[in-house]
Structure 1
């Protein structure tokens, strides 16, 4: 009996392996490939349907696509935003990056040489980056859970630093309140990064943050040059931001 059970389980595993490459299969094709009867395949498909890994239709079956949550979609867009931001880094660039996870994520995709990153993001410590990237940590009071470095020590260390570009995350951005954050201790740091960037300031914000206001304003929209967001951002808000002088960069699913 155990041998028969193992044989049945092995055949059903084979069906799943076949469906990894061909999400839709026909009963007769499976019967030919596995050298068993049509009735046997139908029983196997019925069992796998009960396990909620496929759905049957007349003469065949299809794999059930995994559920795709809203949070999965937001993370997908954040990754696309990070990848796009990485393309804006050039050889020899110096960059500010604040405590944003999305802004720090962009460094996973930077493959330029002689790039210097100045950040108050404690999560930068110990991460692996492309060999052409050097990381300078501001120091300061370490705040959990974001591992943000804030306070007078961090401010003093930033006051005499003037990199070419700043890549900034935020809690929200709107034409009225500007770039906002939920953490008051980060306001002064973010203000300095935006003010001291000598060339370009990029704000990274997925669609859930567009038109949203958080507790503390870091900067008016007039002081940032660029917004990197995704295709689901509200068009009316983007238009207002463009009218205020912000260049909007949109990423799309499939980019």
Structure 2
């Protein structure tokens, strides 16, 4: 599993390097250059698009921004956030044990957990339709909530999804968020997903982990998904400030600071 993840990560880095030189390229050309299948290239480009690096079009892809001085920095920031998210997800996966039933919401960071579960025997319950395209271990039972599919995020929302969640009790809950603040709890920019997050929190009889890189810390978006008292742990990167970390700890939230490759 670890070797497979390394190969995938290396290939996606190579795609970005190629696009830096060419700005635009066809799927078939990438497949030939990297000696892999067009299907694999499409999956890679989809992942890179979700991370904000590229924009796909019929038969190929382009970089989201051309590389002048102003937006090279923006790409560097995006790549930094991607490294932070992967490190956070990998650490979160290490907390999952054989026999666990876990909730994972529609956030990109929480979805990355699936790639680090290895051979663990785990039941994963999620409203994330993109989980079907994730690399998962042979012993992972993936359960989708069903429901109305919301936009390009492919998250499943609505009464059907919340009804399914109400019938399940998880041993651990892993939620990605748009923002988290010690004085206001967790929030999202998508109204329809607030009830999903709350339902997952309410039907978890173990720790509730919030996965958020430091760019989400201290932020409050439009819709509240849970109070700070609903959260037991925050997993973030090592760039979180001492003040923010202390504020969370003082509110009963244990903070795990994850190092990442800079």
Q: TM-score, normalised by structure 1?
A: 0.72
Instruction: Identify unmatched segments of 5+ residues in structure 1.
Output: 1-65
Q: CA-to-partner distance for each residue in 1:200-241, whole Å, 9 max, x for gaps?
A: 110000000000110011111111100000111122122111
CA deviation after TM superposition for structure 1 residue 111, in Å: 1.8
Instruction: Identify unmatched segments of 5+ residues in structure 2.
Output: 1-71
Matches within 5 A, 1:89-104: 89-104=96-111
Pairwise CA RMSD: 1.6
2:115/2:134 contact within 8 Å kept: no
1:122 matched residue in structure 2: 129
Equivalent of 1:154 in 145, 148, 161: 161
1:230 matched residue in structure 2: 237
2:192 matched residue in structure 1: 185
* Pair 1:105-2:112 in alignment: yes
1:244 matched residue in structure 2: 251
CA deviation after TM superposition for structure 1 residue 112, in Å: 4.1
CA deviation after TM superposition for structure 1 residue 106, in Å: 1.0
1:151/1:185 contact within 8 Å kept: yes
2:210 matched residue in structure 1: 203
Q: Distance in 2 between matches of 1:152 and 1:69?
A: 40
2:205 partner SS: coil
Q: CA-to-partner distance for each residue in 1:46-92, whole Å, 9 max, x for gaps?
A: xxxxxxxxxxxxxxxxxxxx987111111111110011011001011
1:27 matched residue in structure 2: none
Instruction: Please identify runs of 4+ aligned residues in structure 1 that moved more than 2 A.
Output: none
2:248 partner SS: helix
Number of residue pairs aligned between Structure 1 and Structure 2: 190
Q: Distance in 2 between matches of 1:70 and 1:126?
A: 25
1:253 matched residue in structure 2: 260
Q: Distance in 2 between matches of 1:173 and 1:167?
A: 14
* Pair 1:216-2:255 in alignment: no
Q: CA-to-partner distance for each residue in 1:10-66, whole Å, 9 max, x for gaps?
A: xxxxxxxxxxxxxxxxxxxxxxxxxxxxxxxxxxxxxxxxxxxxxxxxxxxxxxxx9
2:89/2:112 contact within 8 Å kept: yes
1:141 matched residue in structure 2: 148
2:153 partner SS: coil
Q: TM-score, normalised by structure 2?
A: 0.70
Segment drifting more, 119-128 vs 161-170: 119-128
1:69 partner SS: helix
Q: Distance in 2 between matches of 1:126 and 1:228?
A: 24
Q: CA-to-partner distance for each residue in 1:89-115, whole Å, 9 max, x for gaps?
A: 101110000001110101101124320
